[in-house]
């Protein structure tokens, strides 16, 4: 499982002009699922992300977690995190999990993040989405489990 975190001051996800998720201070989490992934990886990443100290304290140091700043999150399924562009000019996505595995794990990851006390919205699995991100920093972090 791969997660690309973007610290934001504001973000929203829309599908056909309908807002599906909107947050202020927090994280947009682009989440990719691989074929060997399970709930164990989702649980590890949810706990890690909720407690990862990437928000600034009063001294300007990245010393506070999403939970500590009472931030919010948006989870967006992102199979393209498993793109392999080593050969040719068109990426291959064969390393990404099929939708029957990926969809429930993305939903479970969001549930586990909520269980960590993080208000969490989601994009729409498999939909063409418009993701508006106002990066804070910018701070972008890659996690893999």
Q: Is 78 a catalytic residue?
A: yes
* pLDDT tens profile 31-64: 999 999 999 999 999 999 999 999 999 999 999 9
Q: How far is the C-alpha of 79 from the C-alpha of 87, rounded, in Å?
A: 18
pLDDT at 131: 97
pLDDT at 22: 98
Reduce the DSSP state of residue 24 to 3 states and report it: coil
Q: What is the mean pLDDT of residues 87-97?
A: 95
Q: How far is the C-alpha of 104 from the C-alpha of 108, rounded, in Å?
A: 6
Q: What is the mean pLDDT of residues 55-82?
A: 97
Reference 26, options 58, 69, 76; nearest CA is: 69
* pLDDT tens profile 5-33: 999 999 999 999 999 999 999 999 999 99
pLDDT at 103: 98
Q: What is the mean pLDDT of residues 118-132?
A: 97
Reference 13, options 139, 140, 122; nearest CA is: 122
Identify each DSSP E strand in 33-129 by its residue range: 53-56, 62-65, 72-77, 120-122
C-alpha torsion 133→127→113→58, nearest 10 = 0
Domain ranges of the chain: 2-139
Q: Is 93 a catalytic residue?
A: no
Reduce the DSSP state of residue 118 to 3 states and report it: coil
Q: Which one of the listed residues 79, 109, 116, 122 is annotated catalytic?
A: 79
pLDDT at 96: 97
Q: Which one of the listed residues 6, 41, 78, 122 is annotated catalytic?
A: 78
| CATH classification code of 2-139 | 3.50.80.10
Asked whether 54 and 62 are in contact (CB, 8 A), the reply is yes
Q: Is 41 a catalytic residue?
A: no
Mean pLDDT for the chain overall: 97
Q: What is the mean pLDDT of residues 69-77?
A: 98
């Amino acid at each position: 499982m791969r997660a690309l975190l973007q610290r934001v001051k504001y973000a929203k996800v829309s599908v056909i002009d309908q807002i599906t998720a909107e947050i202020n201070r927090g994280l947009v989490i682009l989440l990719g699922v691989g074929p060997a992934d399970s709930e164990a990886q989702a649980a590890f990443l949810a706990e890690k992300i909720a407690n990862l100290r990437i928000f600034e304290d009063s001294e300007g140091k990245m010393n506070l977690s999403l939970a500590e700043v009472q931030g919010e999150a948006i989870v967006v399924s992102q199979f393209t995190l498993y793109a392999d562009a080593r050969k040719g000019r068109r990426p291959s996505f064969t390393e990404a999990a099929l939708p029957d595995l990926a969809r429930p794990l993305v939903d479970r990851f969001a549930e586990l993040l909520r269980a960590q006390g993080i208000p969490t919205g989601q994009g729409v699995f498999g939909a063409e989405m418009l993701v508006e991100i106002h990066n804070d920093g910018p701070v972008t972090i890659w996690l893999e489990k």
